[in-house]
Chains A and B, each alone.
Chain A
Amino acid sequence: MHLDLERMQRLLHAELSPEALQLATEHLSGCAECSAQVSEARRSEARVHALLTRLDHKLPELDLTAMTAPDGARGVAWMRWAAGIVLTIALGGVAYAYPGSPVRRLVDSLLRRPAVEVPAIPSAPTPEPSAAPASSGIAVAPGRRLVVVFTPVDSGRVHVVLSDADAVVVRAPTGSATFSTQAGRLEVRSTIAAVYELEIPRAARRIELMVGGRLVLLKEGARVSTSAAPDSSGGWLLPLDRR
């Protein structure tokens, strides 16, 4: 009786029991047909495996420090999240209390007219983050990969620049955003039209910038991919509009 397909494969892959292997070997020594089929199966497998190696990329090294990182990272993330909220509220309060503050006018108008649309806050014509009177922000270590997610805001924009710092930094005009982080993810809930500043370390391996579920910028290694052209500062000004 000839070897069936299962036994041929098991012979090929050393998956036969010693007894079954002996029987199969004895059969093959006297059966040219089965021997030819086993040889062809072996050649076919070699061809397939050689082709599969074409899919391979350079093997990454196992970053064992990451094994203990998640717990610690969660703690740090929680503290950053809490610090961001506290900072935002505190700076928002200061901005509200400041005489002639636009924040006070905005809050007052919202309280007076809760059902009507949010008053338009004129956004800066060009991104001048350093000129902003007060801003809040957050800094996050980029790790192997970080996804930065902005809530869409009509007429809002984010100015992305590369930096030599170690952390991804988001700056927002005071009271215009809240921040939250999880492992590998930073969410910026932008509430009013403004120009936000996003600094990405040049050394960061992979940073994805998402706006309303759309990937609008990808930094991978040294390469930055985005549909916008770089501006005069070498950064990218990207819209935060809903689409």
Chain B
Amino acid sequence: MDTTLRITRLTAGSEAPVPDFGARLTRLCDSEWPRLSRYLDRLTGDPDLAADLAQEAFVRLHRRGSMPDAPGSWLVSVAMNLLRNEMSMRQRRRKLLTPGRAERAHADPAPSPEQEMVAEEVRARVRAAIDAIPERERQLLLLRAEEYSYRDIAAVVGVSETSVGTLLARARVLFEQAYGSTADAP
């Protein structure tokens, strides 16, 4: 995708951005879009929601018209606020048709290959393990997996930068324990 060309075209017609904002935004898209999307995907388990949140975070940055001091953590923080809003909205309308029921109605009846089943089983175990650890540890682990700096992680999660390493080590232990325990589950 030629993001440079498209962003230049977009910002050329906009009012707010300063002259080099478009170029900086282009570079930021290239560096931040993949890891922000992946982080949100892993966190929520919902790729569509993750894509919407990540895109909205970039939209808000574009509307802002200037770069924050730490754009990476700024984007994650905005996306996390959007996610919290979305989650509280979803809690208010709980009576959703369960996806399982809906999918069963029109799912492809062809049986999955064995490898796919094994992969899905591992995926479900990892999902269960990541959901089982506390939210703070989950965020720490997923942010570090995307190589966010300790400073960014501290800013997003709201912990002291000097304790990020220790908290990360504990988060990893908790995750491995949770993953191990999913193997024992019936």
Contacts and interface: CB of A to CB of B under 8 A. Distances in A.
B7 A64 contact: yes
B176 A13 contact: no
Given A45-B172, A47-B176, A214-B96, A52 B145 contact: yes
Given A56-B41, A56-B42, A70-B59, A218 B97 contact: yes
A206 B142 CA distance: 27
Contacts of A65: 6, 10
B10 A64 contact: yes
A66 interface: yes
B41 A145 contact: no
B126 A51 contact: yes
A65 to B, nearest CB: 7
A51 B7 CA distance: 35
Contact of B172 (A44, A57, A210, A215): A44
A70 B130 CA distance: 34
A44 B97 CA distance: 39
Contacts of A8: 165, 169
Where chain B touches its partner, the secondary structure class is helix
Interface of A: 5-10, 13, 15, 41, 44-45, 47-49, 51-52, 54-68, 70, 144-145, 206, 210, 213-216, 218, 220, 223-227
Contacts of A67: 10, 58-59, 62
Given A5-B169, A13-B144, A67-B62, A54 B106 contact: no
Contacts of B136: none
Nearest to B108: A223
28 contacts: A5-B166, A6-B163, A7-B165, A9-B166, A9-B168, A10-B150, A10-B165, A15-B150, A45-B172, A48-B176, A51-B179, A52-B42, A52-B145, A55-B41, A55-B130, A56-B41, A60-B37, A60-B54, A64-B10, A68-B62, A70-B59, A215-B97, A216-B97, A220-B48, A223-B106, A224-B106, A226-B105, A227-B101
Contacts of A66: 55, 59
A59 B162 CA distance: 33
B141 interface: yes
Contacts of B149: 15
B73 to A, nearest CB: 15
A119 B113 CA distance: 57
Interface of B: 1, 3, 6-7, 10, 13-14, 29, 33-34, 37-38, 41-42, 45, 47-48, 50-52, 54-55, 58-59, 62, 93, 95-97, 99, 101-103, 105-106, 119, 122-123, 126-127, 129-130, 141-142, 144-145, 149-150, 162-166, 168-169, 172-173, 175-176, 179
Contacts of B58: 62, 67
Nearest to A60: B51
A79 B173 CA distance: 55
B166 A6 contact: yes
Contacts of B48: 144-145, 206, 220
Contact of B38 (A59, A63, A68, A213): A59
A227 B97 CA distance: 9
B42 to A, nearest CB: 5
Contacts of A64: 3, 6-7, 10, 29
B126 A52 contact: yes
B102 A218 contact: yes
Task: List 10 tightest A-B contacts by C-beta distance, closest first.
Answer: A9-B165, A225-B102, A57-B47, A60-B51, A6-B165, A215-B97, A213-B93, A67-B62, A55-B42, A215-B96
Nearest to B1: A61
Contact of B150 (A13, A210, A225): A13
Nearest to A57: B47
A225 B103 contact: yes
A225 B97 CA distance: 10
B67 to A, nearest CB: 15
Contacts of B6: 64-65
A57 to B, nearest CB: 4
